[in-house]
Amino acid sequence: MEQKKILVTGATDGIGKQTALELAQKGIHVLVHGRNKEKSETVAALIRQETQNPNVDAVQADLTDFKEIKTLADTVKSRYNRLDVLLNNAGVFENERVILPNGLERTFMVNHMAPFTLTLELLDLLKNTPGARIVNVSSMAQSGSIDFDNLNGEKYFDPYNAYAVSKLENVLFTYKLARELKETGVTANCLHPGVISTKLLHAGWGIGGADVHQGAQNLIYAVVSPEMEGKTGWYLMDRSPAKSAAISYDKKVQERLWEISDRIKNQFL
């Protein structure tokens, strides 16, 4: 049987790095994504060395840049004939409003627009891989509402609100995506990784949390466990189906976010 290939975004640090390491220990072909080429290659080399798994590759893209996201997708499609799992793990918490050169606020771009864009750019490859999975790392810190006139923090910006809205967007996107892919055999799920001691947790909440190994278990379950085979449109907490924010089930809200996101993506690609 051909070796499974899994792309982990944000895999040079925190939960992503630990997940990539533990997947490589299972003999899986792991694509370690990072923003910085040098760091991605260093982490991939360390994982190869530690796991004695030669199939750990570095891939690079700055997730604040649509062109780099597209280049990442094109690179993966040209190098590999299959992609079993796309794990959209990368995320940021910004303590102040940062507007990128493309005009988008950084939290919205990295936490929502980047996984939205990368997923759609890789869909053909995923559809050609039997039993492929898409897993989006959300959070229990989901907003209970979304203001479509403030996606960019135009009217007001609060760090916690921006983060919580972006994590709601991950769930809205997952549920709509699961419906879109219903007949293709590709599943789409999202999860809360746990309150894990990472740079993001320290930046946003100034507290420590559980060990990254614990967070990685939640990701690995969604990514490779036989129990999740064929399951789609789920939000997971502690490896079990859970209730996401009430608004996340509103199909009109899901559709509107998708339309706006697609329009933004198409402006740049």
Would you call 163 a catalytic residue per the annotation? yes
Q: Which two tokens stand for residue 194?
A: 């746990």
DSSP 111: I
Provide the H-helix boundaries in the chain.
Answer: 14-25, 37-51, 66-79, 106-108, 114-127, 159-180, 199-205, 212-224, 251-268
How far CA 265 is from CA of 70, 102, 220, 250, in Å, comes to: 10, 11, 29, 23
Chain-centre distance of CA 187, in angstroms?
Answer: 14
The pair of structure tokens assigned to 23 is 């997947």
Contact predicate 62/112, CB 8 Å? no
Catalytic residue, chosen from 80, 156, 160, 163, is 163
Q: Give the Cα separation of 43 and 141 in Å (integer).
A: 29
Half-sphere CA count of 96, side-chain side, radius 13 A = 1
Q: Please tell me the distance from the alpha carbon of residue 185 to that of residue 232, in angstroms, as a whole number.
A: 10
Q: End-to-end distance of the chain based on CA atoms, in angstroms?
A: 36
249: CB partners within 8 A, 6+ apart: 175
CA angle 184, 233, 117 (to 5 degrees): 70
CA–CA gap between residue 126 and residue 107 (Å, rounded): 26
Active site residues: 163
